[in-house]
Amino acid sequence: MAGTAVALIELGAMLFVLGIFGRVTGRFGMSPIPLYLLGGLAFGQGGVLELGVANEFGHIASDIGVVLLLLLLGLEYTAAELVTGLRRSWAAGVFDLVANATPGAVLALLLGWGAVGAITLGGVTYISSSGIAAKLLDDLGRLGNRETPVILSILVFEDLTMAIYLPLLTTMLAGLSFLSGLTSLAIALVAITVVLVVALRYGSVVSAIVNSTDREVFLLTLVGAALLVSGFASALNVSAAVGAFLLGIAISGSTARVAAKMLEPLRDLFAAIFFVAFGLSTDPGAIPPVLGWAVVLAVLTTATKVATGWWAARAHGIGRAGRARAGAALVARGEFSIVIAGLAVAAGVDSRLAALATAYVLLMAVLGPVLARVVEPLAGWVQRVRAGDTGVA
């Protein structure tokens, strides 16, 4: 069979199966990320059926998926919201960083992965999934709740932290000198500052540059600009993901809303391929030896995320039920954790890290939505028990 035919059959089969996976998870109100990762494990090296051509396509498609994920994330925020969120949530954000990055960093050191492994795994366990959290708040009708601004402020702080963290991680993974690392960090900080200033004062100008009444022209200009900015950012060791995120922030107003609506289906497609591609690069046989550690991390970092949301919500005078909801909404890990692990794998860090990250994200992407759904009735039951009414006749 001709190479082109094989490629089309493999890619078609992979995308079709992804669609089935998405339909199954949608019926249960769950995130499809775990099934996408499992699909990659099944079709990758050591899996049930190895798809060589699909694997090759997955690398470039996954890079585009990361760019679109972060571009859409940036479009969700305005520069003013970022600044306000940072002011409101800096204390909770620092607590979140220390409490949730520490378990991953300590485990990496115990496993002998060194400083680079510690910083990598610390990032994997630190960052919540903004995509899963936002979808949960919408699906559960909690967008108008008192604790929701607290949740969003913490997510904003995490995203800004990633804008500094990713350039540092990229530099360390590339094995560059300390001076080069400082240079990359300085570039990232300058880029963030410039983008925030430009977005605050000249956001309409940036939006006008990419805007167009023609949908095709608009889409080509926007995606082209995102790939260009991401490429230049990557060339400066600042991370393509950060470049896309900053471009999204710089686009504002109605242009940002239209862009988000147009890009969402494209983002979902390439994001799905991104998760599958990561699964393709992970040997399923490497997961069982690290599964126990993944469970330990899942238990520890579920507790620390719930504590983060609880403490932040309490500081805003929110009741116990709202504090519990805030903590549960932050539990899920997803896109950013896989982005971080993917960078490490591409740089040749210990292959067990990819397996551990995959198992960890699988657990957390399932546990987060489940906990978010049960925490409210559970909190209500606890309150009734304390009041002496168990509801049992």
In a domain, 10, yes or no: no
Asked whether 302 and 331 are in contact (CB, 8 A), the reply is: yes
Instruction: Average the pLDDT over each of 262-266, 289-293, 312-316 and give the range with the smallest value.
Output: 262-266
pLDDT higher than 50, residue 278: yes
Does 15 fall in a domain? no
The answer to whether residue 351 is domain-embedded is yes
Chain Cα centroid distance, residue 266 = 17
Is the pLDDT at 344 greater than 50? The verdict is yes
In the chain, the amino acid numbered 228 is L
Ranges of H-type helices in 174-286: 178-210, 215-235, 240-250, 253-280
pTM, rounded to two decimals: 0.74
pLDDT by residue (tens digit) across 21-44?
A: 778 777 776 767 777 777 777 776
Which positions ≥6 away from 385 have C-beta within 8 Å?
A: none
Exposed/middle/buried for 2, CB within 10 Å: 0-12, 13-18, 19+? Answer: exposed
The CATH number covering residue 277 comes to 1.20.1530.20
**Residue 1 in domain:** no
| 20 falls within a domain | no
Domain count, the chain: 1
- Out of 4-8, 233-237, 245-249, 357-361, the most confident range is 357-361
> Average pLDDT for residues 331-348, to the nearest whole number?
82
Q: Specify the pLDDT at position 297.
A: 96
Q: How many Å apart are CA 69 and CA 275, to the nearest integer?
A: 11
Nearest Cα neighbor of 43 from 28, 53, 31 is: 53
Residue 200 in any domain: the answer is yes
Neighbours of 347 (CB within 10 A): 15
Quick one: pLDDT band at residue 76, thresholds 50, 70, 90? confident
Measure the CA–CA gap between 368 and 150, rounded to whole angstroms: 17
Q: What average pLDDT does this structure show over 56-77? A: 75
Number of helices and strands in the chain (H, E): 15, 0
Burial class (CB in 10 A: 0-12, 13-18, 19+), 87: exposed
**CB contact burial 38-52 (16+ within 10 A = b; e otherwise):** bbbbbbbeebeeebe
CA-only gyration radius of the chain, Å:
21
Q: Is residue 293 very low, low, confident or very high in pLDDT (cuts 50, 70, 90)?
A: very high
| Mean of pLDDT over the chain | 80
What confidence tens digit (pLDDT) does each residue in 199-223 have? 667 777 888 888 888 888 998 999 9
In a domain, 390, yes or no: no
From CA 334, how far away is CA 153, in angstroms rounded?
18
Q: Predicted confidence band at 239 (pLDDT cuts at 50, 70, 90)?
A: low
> At residue 296, does pLDDT exceed 90?
yes
Distance (Å, rounded) from C-alpha 108 to C-alpha 381? 38
Whether residue 18 lies inside any domain: the answer is no
| Cα 202 from Cα 205, distance rounded (Å) | 5
Task: Compare 19 and 224 and report the one with higher pLDDT.
Answer: 224
Structural domain boundaries, residue 71: 31-381
Percent of the chain clearing pLDDT 90 (strictly above):
18
Beta-carbon contacts of 152 under 8 Å, excluding residues fewer than 6 positions away, are 85
